[in-house]
Structure 1
């Protein structure tokens, strides 16, 4: 099986490296292309056998599965470039959430899926969100999800829930990192504790918390109840967080969804599709 990657920026290169390091793919199975060829050449240098293609058409032509890892508004130019070399037997996977499956199915003859990855795949963890198109067979689904299972937990979602699920699986690590960074900064200022020491402690706490929510079978509400003794320190702090952050999360969802809708409209227009009625949050 040959797997191609168009776009080797942050997420494209992360997928390539994660697949290789997890032994899901050998370098010899991978072809990649990028606007800046030196970036692909560097990957080929680090992973001997990986083919640094000279063009996106070359990558597309020699791939059984083709990952398109470009920014939303670059998708139209990529599909125009590869359209004539893509066949009905190939599988094209977009990792860009605002690019709808129906748009890609109209632009290309291939079987189409959308898979939204996460930075957590770098350590073989997290969920990958799978949205499969109408031409994808059950065999194709199994092939793609088996590949993703080497670096993540593949989860099938409805395309209408792409944004909200991406908020948690893809944006979530950054949101949690922001919260932790602010908390650590306040602790350092208040007590003088070493930032590195506290950062390591925070990382271990997050790993343990994640395991309680997955392997331990706890819900977030149950975890809070187990830790927060009535009248205790944790309960006091949770009450503060509840009163201070009450309106933050609805605003967070509105912000991500409105940006998503804006990007999706621009993508649709670039492909010549009629704008859709925006859903307000």
Structure 2
């Protein structure tokens, strides 16, 4: 076992901490957390795991071989600079921020660097963790991080050039899916006598079942549609409307989000 540090404690950091503890990948007294606002999320963790330490990084960073930086993108560089006196080549630093590439992280520290984009669906152990390792990171550090993440997610190592688009399909996708299907449920309410509660209940179970079919039966989206939509039937009518209207919407989603990733990178570069 080894000490692990978390800097920042939002929903993703909470998911990582709880899953590592739940799966026995770390003991309570081996987990150290620094967060500027000790809110309800951290209080709930300490209530469940009273031996976890919540203290300034200056008091524990030197003892940790693995440190997750879980702060917003524009605070990553300042956090690395705060860490600088306490880390060395034996330390492995993992950033979960979007839009802050390895080259900017590597320029700030001699520690080994990885980027991880986790997914909130890993709370249900059904998420993908996207991983990009520095080329100079040692094999044992790569294996150890991948092993930890594998306890609660499917690990996918990916080229950094693909990371932003892939993040839309893993980390952001639950939010996009929620937004899309909320609108589908509300449309059902507007166009029928269904209550909002009924519409949401029916649709959530359909989403769950569809996901199980896609994974457990190894079905494609096309196959799934083919199983439901009979020629000249009702489902086909709806699918035609979606295919005519939705591509432009999702092209806009990618256009705007990829611009946002680029903006974070540009703003981080200015900090140097």
* TM-score bracket, shorter-length normalisation: over 0.9
**Worse-matched range after superposition: 7-16 or 111-120:** 7-16
Deviations 1:4-32 (A, max 9, x none): 10001222222212322343333222100
Distance across 2 between alignment mates of 1:65 and 1:200 = 42
Distance across 2 between alignment mates of 1:37 and 1:240 = 48
Match of 2:17 in 1: 16
Q: Are residue 188 (structure 1) and residue 189 (structure 2) matched?
A: yes
Q: Are residue 52 (structure 1) and residue 54 (structure 2) matched?
A: yes
Contact 1:41 1:52 in 2 (8 A): no
Match of 1:26 in 2: 27
Which aligned runs of 4 or more in structure 1 are off by greater than 6 angstroms?
none
Match of 1:278 in 2: none
Distance across 2 between alignment mates of 1:193 and 1:211 = 26
Secondary structure at the aligned position of 1:107 is classed as coil
Normalization by structure 2: what TM-score? Answer: 0.93
Normalization by structure 1: what TM-score? Answer: 0.90
Deviations 1:147-196 (A, max 9, x none): 11111111111100111000000111011111111111111232232333
**Worse-matched range after superposition: 22-31 or 110-119:** 22-31
Unaligned residue ranges in structure 2 (runs of 5+): none
The offset of 1:78, in angstroms, is 0.6
Secondary structure at the aligned position of 1:87 is classed as coil
Matches within 5 A, 1:92-111: 92-111=93-112
> Cα RMSD over matched residues?
1.7
Contact 2:186 2:199 in 1 (8 A): no
Distance across 1 between alignment mates of 2:105 and 2:81 = 11
- After superposition, the Cα gap between the structure-2 partners of 1:132 and 1:216, relative to the gap in structure 1 and judged at 3 Å, is same
The offset of 1:257, in angstroms, is 0.4
Contact 1:3 1:31 in 2 (8 A): yes
Contact 1:31 1:59 in 2 (8 A): yes
Deviations 1:48-102 (A, max 9, x none): 110111x123342221210000011111211111101101111100001211112
Distance across 2 between alignment mates of 1:239 and 1:38 = 47
Matches within 5 A, 1:164-175: 164-175=165-176
Matches within 5 A, 1:22-101: 22-37=23-38, 40=42, 43-53=45-55, 55-101=56-102
Unaligned residue ranges in structure 1 (runs of 5+): 273-281
Q: Are residue 205 (structure 1) and residue 206 (structure 2) matched?
A: yes
Distance across 2 between alignment mates of 1:126 and 1:145 = 14
The offset of 1:41, in angstroms, is 5.3
Q: Are residue 5 (structure 1) and residue 6 (structure 2) matched?
A: yes
Contact 1:56 1:78 in 2 (8 A): no
Secondary structure at the aligned position of 1:201 is classed as helix
Match of 1:246 in 2: 247
**Worse-matched range after superposition: 221-230 or 79-88:** 221-230
Contact 1:5 1:67 in 2 (8 A): yes
Distance across 2 between alignment mates of 1:42 and 1:161 = 36
Distance across 2 between alignment mates of 1:107 and 1:156 = 23
Secondary structure at the aligned position of 2:155 is classed as strand
The offset of 1:245, in angstroms, is 1.5
